[in-house]
Structure 1
């Protein structure tokens, strides 16, 4: 797999979700009765992908309709007795309860007699990764799942649209896996996604004491960063022993921000005395700086719901693992030794 994409690849330019809608519709159109004999490999590939959507056609069955942007639905596939709603995403996430709204709308069309009776399947189709599944969908299909279906047909199909789409997904896949080979200063957004997915898959291997709470792009006034965050494995008794009761702060947690490991406080300003929270922040910083040394440093202390206590830089995956271990153990010691 190459981390470079040909300059004449169609999808180097057709990067919008509408372009991907068109590809899905084009591929699925090979399951319309008038098209099934035009390219048997593409028809078989479309059938396999439709099966991944949860819709399985009998050998003598065909799709009845392939629609794009109908009822605001990205792709609507009509099969005998089944409606398949495909919510197609490239680089964004689902929002505003989209999938449930589309499901309810199709059900209303069925109930009112506009559409024939049938079951409804909702598919979340996305070519870049995210931290959590889309719970409102019946099926989540991500890049690795899509490639698993399309790759077997790649060598057999001499069609530039099909080939360009697979090459485009392989390009994203290669960049996502590049974190394993590239030095940290050459990581891009895809590499961080790959790294974060690896941590999420096996947090203990990276010395996290708890599962990953979430990861993704975090916008801010400084330009934003790719972040991953998790709670430290501490009990209510640990917090009480350290005097960090929930009437003072909400939580202490760790976060990766690009090439930084940060210690964070969450404090709801309307709920807490911010002077108390500020003093706790200084107390935690002083302890960690004293016990870790100059590698643990602070930036400008600003008030807010999510406040950075201090940070450490890491320069490789192994360095990140070691510094996570150091931060976690030092924070555990702090909770047993200090009362704020």
Structure 2
């Protein structure tokens, strides 16, 4: 495979540069230099505007795009009346109030310069959970994700520009890698497979969230299937990659009010109640963990990978997995109905 510049320039700043470069090709002054690239760039600009203004059909007369303006990754001025601000993400997520701050700055600038309301775009070429992206939408940003970019670039096979085609090859490879888990043996799964799997789960069933958990052991991908209280304590099912865990939180931030019960005591109570009901419902695969922790998020029971995900030498049966996960969610809901004895 020939060397691809974007296999070496993998940082968000490199992606910022490519997107800004492509957006500038939308200006009509570039139409004679490379008409095909200009057409793709114009389509890109229109798609971004239509995220906020679906009926947009104006002729594009002026496009100016740049980077790093008041910490905004990419800005675009269109027809001297539209301002687009773009938060460009690969594998990171928004933090603190950055999106709200960018939107406020852009709104004030548009008022001062007699522009229409800003169009705020969140471009994501990595993977991010629906729960996280819904938070982005609530802050007034419109999502333009990797499948959107793949569809745009692939719709222009006639373009011969090397920069364009290198980026297109890499983004297509990332998208394809995201779906390989469907055919691979479970034992061969890597980070992209767990992300793709959790994305599929959230499309096929209701889950609370999924994300990467960093820890001293290099971290892991996890999915929280549900989250609800048992007494005052949140109890939930968490997929820690191939391990299914029934867990309880005693973190002060998760509790509605102060409690005097010890972590070990509440952990043991929940464990005994859950195991008692597992026996009553003939869930023999729900077992005591190898050891009990004593932190703020504690595992009280586990289901081994072969009992819910499948044998490591096989590929997955997604419908059977979803059936089992929904059964465990229903079971945990029934456990929550059993009152805690001491608070």
Q: Write the distance in 2 (CA, Å) between the matches of 1:265 and 1:202.
A: 25
In structure 2, what is the equivalent of residue 257 of structure 1?
240
After TM superposition, give the deviation of residue 118 of structure 1 in Å. 3.3
Cα deviation 1:271-300 (Å, max 9, x = unaligned): 331243133144146436755446624033
The more displaced of 290-299 and 125-134 is: 290-299
The more displaced of 95-104 and 162-171 is: 95-104
In structure 2, what is the equivalent of residue 105 of structure 1?
105
In structure 2, what is the equivalent of residue 267 of structure 1?
250
Q: Write the distance in 2 (CA, Å) between the matches of 1:282 and 1:300.
A: 12
Q: Write the distance in 2 (CA, Å) between the matches of 1:335 and 1:78.
A: 54
Report the 3-state secondary structure (helix = DSSP H, G, I; strand = E; otherwise coil) of the residue aligned with 2:294. coil
Q: CA RMSD in A?
A: 2.6
Say yes or no: does 1:276 pair with 2:265: yes
* TM-score, normalised via structure 2 length: 0.82
Change (3 A) 1:109 1:295: closer
Say yes or no: does 1:147 pair with 2:146: no
Preserved CA contact (<8 Å) 2:83 2:110: no
In structure 2, what is the equivalent of residue 3 of structure 1?
none
Report the 3-state secondary structure (helix = DSSP H, G, I; strand = E; otherwise coil) of the residue aligned with 1:263. strand
Change (3 A) 1:313 1:33: same
Cα deviation 1:53-86 (Å, max 9, x = unaligned): 11657336121x2111122211110112110001
In structure 1, what is the equivalent of residue 77 of structure 2?
78
Q: Write the distance in 2 (CA, Å) between the matches of 1:190 and 1:284.
A: 36
Report the 3-state secondary structure (helix = DSSP H, G, I; strand = E; otherwise coil) of the residue aligned with 1:58. coil
Report the 3-state secondary structure (helix = DSSP H, G, I; strand = E; otherwise coil) of the residue aligned with 2:95. coil
Say yes or no: does 1:35 pair with 2:55: no
**Residues paired across the two proteins, number:** 312
Change (3 A) 1:138 1:295: closer
Change (3 A) 1:165 1:40: same
The more displaced of 141-150 and 30-39 is: 30-39
Say yes or no: does 1:8 pair with 2:7: no
Cα deviation 1:149-190 (Å, max 9, x = unaligned): 11110x201111111111111111111101110111111221
Listed as ranges, the gaps of 5+ residues in structure 1 are: 1-5, 204-210
Report the 3-state secondary structure (helix = DSSP H, G, I; strand = E; otherwise coil) of the residue aligned with 1:91. coil
